[in-house]
Structure 1
Amino acid sequence: MLLPTLLLIHSFINLSFRVNPTAAAPSSYQLQQSSLGASKPDDWEKYVRSPPKRTIHPVKVLSSYTLGNVTNPNGLLTGHGSTVLTRSVPPSSNSTLGNPPPDVPPTIVVDFGQNIAGFLSIRFGGAHNATPGLPGIRLAFSETLEYLTNVSDFSRSDNGDTITPGSDQIAVQSKPYTWTDTHGCEFENTKVCADGLHGYRYMKVYLDALPADAPYTTSYGSVAISSMSLNFTAFLGTPDTFTGWFESSDDQLNQWWYDGVYTNDMCTDTFLENSTDPRDAASPTLEGKQVLFDGAKRDRDPYVGDLAVSSLTSYLSHDDPIASRNVLADLGDHQRDDGWIPPASINNYTLPLLDYPLWWVVCSYDLFMYTGDYDYVRTYYPNIVKVLDTFYPSITNPTTQLVQKGLGVSANYGDYAFLPRTGPVTYYNVLYVLALQRAASIATFLGGHSDDAARWTARAQVVSDSVNSNSFDTSVGAYFDGSCGFSPCPTHAQDGNSISVISGVANETTANSVLSYLSKANARPYGNSFYDNDLLQAGFSQRVYAFISYFEIDARFKTAGLAESALEEIRRLYGWMAANDPGITQWEGIADNGTKYEGAFTSLAHGWSTGIVPALTNNVLGVTPTGPGYTAYNVKPIPGDVQWAKGVVPTPNGPISVYWNSDKAHGLFFLSVSAPNGYSGTISVPVSNSSVPVYFDSQQAWNGETATKSFAVQQGDGYPTISKLRHFRTALSTNATLLAIFHLAPQLNLPNYYLAAGCITQTVWNYVSGLPPETGIADYDLVYYDASDLSWEAEDRVIQASRKLFKGAGVK
């Protein structure tokens, strides 16, 4: 089992040199002799799934699905002649020719090779009819072959604004022309209609006409198809658009990371009235803006809960925050007077969900941390206050201080899965704690909101304590879900138990208990189910949401010793989706035996299911922001069974690049990091125990017991924190007094200290801001840490020793 040793790299190191610090432990020979530091060649572009350009052609015609009179079925692919579908009028029933041949509509099925989204165009080479009307072509779209029928697995008309029966219809003209799938009808505003944009992999094309489309189309005649293509309207994530990437020793993890990015790219598109959810979701305040839809096929409305995952995927791959910002800002602008934030534009911003206002707060924090968007948080800070201080207190039980579904307006509210639960639901409350914590951080970073930060932090602790007192089931070692009458329901949900760990509601012991229970009770061949039994509804114990599974996976990474269980869950979940039709893209939900959880209706390219991207970047590569826009960041690789990883994380001022490699047989770990000037990073290397040596820039910084020359050490809880002074001295070389203090400080031999020499903070700030450096120091502070408070006698001994040491340095 690997434990982290911390290497603290202050902003001044990166500020001055954009250094590539390295750390390794332990080694019996010089780091230069180790092959671990030899970085692998970048080879990530081969995993990218995006089409190279917006015009996409089918890759094959599936011959086993060809029916009826079809000549040259591959012509539309090869360009060597047209594919011709011919359907003759069947003989009358009194024919003397014997049994007439069956009247089979000529049919082909084309495969675009992977899920895509956009508008289809067909180049027709001409047509002629055999009965009155133009020859009719019908199109059915599907993400899988399983649900490919004469109608689409899902079409916009299925959700309202119904103009088609689930297939798109074409009245093919006699002369060559190009038809483009546009929402609307060709005749009388009601006949020969198409739904426009589709998300799919497979398309069935057959010569047929709807009776309702008479007299404009006929089922009989001949149609020549010269070619077809799709205009890919979603984000075109070609390799040159990647500002962040990931690669590791595990080829499958690598591919699934890029599959997640492509899935999310398919959901990143322009909000247009006729290609979004028709259930009163059209919004003039979103029209024409780039957004992150929930799914490429459906519902095509941007939901804020989905952004809790899909936004992270966007930030970490293409650094494209505008789609998320547009959604978050729009929902904030539609906040209700009581503080409630709508989940999406659907139903004219009125769909009643109880958890999504909390996700709006969490997602606002993520936008701030990953992109440094101060304008957004300053603008919408009052909305955050209103969510947390008006709406949720209105549905809080005054006795338990827990959010209680059923109080106030909340009785008929749903959540991300419209679950029939009630009472003090653990998921709502631990998410409430997380939102309060995130909001307190925003308040602190902005400054001037210390009262808000203190109030929210205190409330988070109260709610956390109450969850542990009222909602923990000691019989299984996990949190109850909600109430059944006046008692807790004997059912345990993945959502609340997972987020209890991320929010810190569960301490280390409880976290291990919760995650152990989920492994035992919820593990399925295709992921971990979101309930341990079917008490609330049949099938819940077999249903898997990759959305909620992300939080469990993240919790496993963040709980010491469980990284390999996180990777094992990833491999079951993402391996299942990758191995089953349509492949590549990641599904909205999975049901019994690994089936699509809502059948044909299931979205198989859903942004909320792309949690593998932040899971691997934040944990395996190990990079997370701890200050707005990565002005402060952590690099803490959690390898599990991965041997090496490398990648780039985009920030507003340039990339953070990380490469690490390990040799478990010899107990070696090598880490290299580079970051933009002005950023402060805390870097951790995993070692077997705190006594092994750690090297920095190929120099030993910690010999397993004490710091070596040029390093100051903070030792605590078995994690040595090592601060390299050499670069700081170079950066502040104009300050001779400060250098004298740094030279003398290690002689104090304090186990746990930081040195704050006079106006050191102002000196660093001046450097960052490009101002002249400070020229003198009047005093110094010595800040030290211990498991318990020092007695005044011990403190006085430190003071006297430091006075003696610095007597000749010209400072107090």
Structure 2
Amino acid sequence: MHDFLIDGIKRDRLPWTGDMAMSIMANSYSFADADIIRRSLTVLGRAGISDTDINGIVDYSLWWIISEDFYQLYFDDNEHLVREWTRIKNCLELLNNRCDSEGLITLEPGAWLFIDWVDAEKMTALQILWWWAQISGSALAERMNESSLASKWRKQAASLKGVLYSKAWDAKASAWRAHPQKNSDISRHANLLAVISGLTTIDEASSIKKALLDTSIPDVGTPYMKGFECMALSGLGASDSAISQIRYYWGGMLKHGATTFWESYNSAEEDQDIYSFYERPFAKSLCHAWSSGPASILPATVMGIRPLADGWKRFTVEPNLYDLEWACASVPTPFGDIQVEISSDKITIHVPLGTTLEFDGRSYSGPTTVSESPDIRQLQ
């Protein structure tokens, strides 16, 4: 965090749009620094996608739209949205012009489809991100009071969802395949993105959870995507597995002396090898924005502190302590800090002025402090 949210002062020192999606959440739960996110989104948006994708990566153009929606949810910056709205609309239209007759986004020859540092088929994952970008575009249009445009993107997203279910959903495995037009294997990336985007339905939760817990399906390649996977597991009711992965994966970094989030982590690496990357010694970035998932996953999952309206005007607390006997968190918001302390038999929540807490079926307007002794197990 300098003038922009950048990756690794060691190497490329650039803002990357996919990283923004993760770091917006981490920033919101840790610093509530809207200025640095606004500047980063603005400079990325100036790249446009008429000649090349944002950061030169097709899925990063989609992540930019999604990140703009994230930013409004956590910071409610209408001035920024008004200023960037024309660019957002143009980006969506240019992306739409790349679609085939079924609404599937196509790739130009030589296009860089990233998703994650893995050598695997990623086309279904790309289409799910395209669906998510359209849903985000619809939400942004609603904020701009452009209801007809919001309706357009919702309808197109609904049509794309139907195509994906007909072409990429494996009914036998009850999970997403890697490619919508090939008889491909089940994709970990497609399934976790389907969960966090909201594409999947609650009826499919158990089968997708099974797929994400299946170690025979190739693993994700970065802490970036591992963070999204932990979010998906939590959303599927497998929060114990999410926390176990955080303890193993990011806990492994800590055991090696990490004080910031590393670009990658491999538990099999030792000594100087843990710092190598791109086949270069000591090339690994040890302060990488895309790896900061636990900074938001832990308060959002363990403490269950999540915004329900832009800028935290409404929020919820739905804790799940797992094997912890006690936990507390302070989440900065534009209205002040939300403070939550939870033990096995008591929960105390400070609700700032200007916000409303939705908790255990009731609403509490701030400023107030809610202190109750509910059965935490029933809230899980």
For normalisation by structure 1, the TM-score amounts to 0.42
The residue that corresponds to 1:434 in the other structure is: 132
SS in 1 for 2:4: strand
1:555 paired with 2:267, answer no
The residue that corresponds to 1:342 in the other structure is: 54
The change in CA–CA distance for 1:477 and 1:296 in structure 2 (over 3 A counts) is farther
Deviations along 1:564-587, whole A, 9 cap, x unmatched? 11111111111222122x533332
1:306 paired with 2:3, answer no
Deviations along 1:591-646, whole A, 9 cap, x unmatched? 58346464522223211111001101222122222222111222222333333321
The residue that corresponds to 2:364 in the other structure is: none
1:513 paired with 2:207, answer yes
SS in 2 for 1:660: strand
The residue that corresponds to 1:398 in the other structure is: 101
> Displacement of 1:411 after TM fit?
4.6
Higher strand share: 1
Aligned counterparts of 1:410 and 1:619: Cα–Cα separation in 2: 41
The residue that corresponds to 2:297 in the other structure is: 615
> Displacement of 1:672 after TM fit?
2.2
Deviations along 1:501-560, whole A, 9 cap, x unmatched? 1122222242322232222225xxxxxxxxx34xxxxxxx5x631100111111111123
1:443 paired with 2:147, answer no
The change in CA–CA distance for 1:435 and 1:634 in structure 2 (over 3 A counts) is farther
> Displacement of 1:327 after TM fit?
1.4
The residue that corresponds to 1:121 in the other structure is: none
The residue that corresponds to 1:587 in the other structure is: 262
The residue that corresponds to 2:111 in the other structure is: 412
The residue that corresponds to 2:288 in the other structure is: 606
- In structure 1, give the amino acid aligned to 2:307: P
Aligned counterparts of 1:410 and 1:679: Cα–Cα separation in 2: 49
The change in CA–CA distance for 1:391 and 1:643 in structure 2 (over 3 A counts) is farther
The change in CA–CA distance for 1:682 and 1:489 in structure 2 (over 3 A counts) is same
- In structure 2, give the amino acid aligned to 1:393: N
Matches within 5 A, 1:120-199: none
- Say which of 163, 168, 179 aligns to 1:482: 179
In structure 2, runs of 5+ residues without a counterpart are 362-369
The residue that corresponds to 1:70 in the other structure is: none
- In structure 1, give the amino acid aligned to 2:18: G
- Say which of 339, 352, 359 aligns to 1:676: 352
The residue that corresponds to 2:7 in the other structure is: 294
> Displacement of 1:416 after TM fit?
4.7
The change in CA–CA distance for 1:294 and 1:494 in structure 2 (over 3 A counts) is farther
Equivalent residues of 1:354, 1:410 under 8 A apart? no
> Displacement of 1:421 after TM fit?
6.3
Equivalent residues of 1:361, 1:439 under 8 A apart? yes
The change in CA–CA distance for 1:606 and 1:553 in structure 2 (over 3 A counts) is same
Aligned counterparts of 1:574 and 1:417: Cα–Cα separation in 2: 18
1:452 paired with 2:146, answer no
Aligned counterparts of 2:99 and 2:130: Cα–Cα separation in 1: 11
- In structure 2, give the amino acid aligned to 1:590: Y
The residue that corresponds to 1:629 in the other structure is: 311
Deviations along 1:450-472, whole A, 9 cap, x unmatched? 11222222222222222222112
Aligned counterparts of 2:7 and 2:332: Cα–Cα separation in 1: 24
- In structure 2, give the amino acid aligned to 1:488: N
The residue that corresponds to 2:189 in the other structure is: 495
Aligned counterparts of 1:353 and 1:506: Cα–Cα separation in 2: 25
- In structure 1, give the amino acid aligned to 2:113: G
Aligned counterparts of 2:66 and 2:17: Cα–Cα separation in 1: 10
The change in CA–CA distance for 1:652 and 1:410 in structure 2 (over 3 A counts) is farther
Equivalent residues of 2:346, 2:372 under 8 A apart? no
The change in CA–CA distance for 1:471 and 1:416 in structure 2 (over 3 A counts) is closer
SS in 1 for 2:74: helix
Deviations along 1:357-384, whole A, 9 cap, x unmatched? 1111121122212122111111112222
SS in 2 for 1:602: coil
Aligned counterparts of 2:221 and 2:317: Cα–Cα separation in 1: 31
Equivalent residues of 1:637, 1:684 under 8 A apart? no
- In structure 1, give the amino acid aligned to 2:135: Q
The change in CA–CA distance for 1:638 and 1:437 in structure 2 (over 3 A counts) is farther
Superposed CA RMSD in Å reads 2.8
Aligned counterparts of 1:427 and 1:480: Cα–Cα separation in 2: 9
The residue that corresponds to 1:545 in the other structure is: 222
Aligned counterparts of 1:421 and 1:395: Cα–Cα separation in 2: 23
The residue that corresponds to 1:655 in the other structure is: 337
SS in 1 for 2:336: coil
Aligned counterparts of 1:593 and 1:324: Cα–Cα separation in 2: 35
- In structure 2, give the amino acid aligned to 1:505: L
- In structure 2, give the amino acid aligned to 1:298: R
SS in 2 for 1:633: strand
Equivalent residues of 2:303, 2:320 under 8 A apart? yes
Aligned counterparts of 1:463 and 1:450: Cα–Cα separation in 2: 20
The change in CA–CA distance for 1:699 and 1:646 in structure 2 (over 3 A counts) is closer
- In structure 1, give the amino acid aligned to 2:112: Y
Equivalent residues of 1:403, 1:425 under 8 A apart? no
The residue that corresponds to 2:86 in the other structure is: 382
- In structure 2, give the amino acid aligned to 1:449: E
Higher helix share: 2
Equivalent residues of 1:341, 1:360 under 8 A apart? no
The change in CA–CA distance for 1:677 and 1:462 in structure 2 (over 3 A counts) is same
- In structure 1, give the amino acid aligned to 2:156: R
The residue that corresponds to 1:323 in the other structure is: 36
> Which shifted more, 652-661 or 674-683?
674-683
Aligned counterparts of 2:323 and 2:5: Cα–Cα separation in 1: 33
The residue that corresponds to 1:472 in the other structure is: 169
The change in CA–CA distance for 1:495 and 1:296 in structure 2 (over 3 A counts) is farther
SS in 2 for 1:330: helix
Deviations along 1:189-238, whole A, 9 cap, x unmatched? xxxxxxxxxxxxxxxxxxxxxxxxxxxxxxxxxxxxxxxxxxxxxxxxxx
Aligned counterparts of 1:323 and 1:413: Cα–Cα separation in 2: 27
Aligned counterparts of 1:636 and 1:456: Cα–Cα separation in 2: 31
- In structure 2, give the amino acid aligned to 1:363: S
Equivalent residues of 2:73, 2:311 under 8 A apart? yes
SS in 1 for 2:213: helix
- In structure 1, give the amino acid aligned to 2:357: G
Aligned counterparts of 1:650 and 1:367: Cα–Cα separation in 2: 15
The residue that corresponds to 1:75 in the other structure is: none
- Say which of 455, 458, 461 aligns to 2:158: 461
SS in 2 for 1:570: helix
Aligned counterparts of 2:267 and 2:348: Cα–Cα separation in 1: 44
> Displacement of 1:292 after TM fit?
1.0
Aligned counterparts of 2:13 and 2:372: Cα–Cα separation in 1: 52
Equivalent residues of 2:341, 2:348 under 8 A apart? yes
Equivalent residues of 1:634, 1:681 under 8 A apart? yes
Matches within 5 A, 1:180-329: 268-269=1-2, 290-329=3-42
Aligned counterparts of 1:386 and 1:379: Cα–Cα separation in 2: 13
The change in CA–CA distance for 1:410 and 1:321 in structure 2 (over 3 A counts) is farther
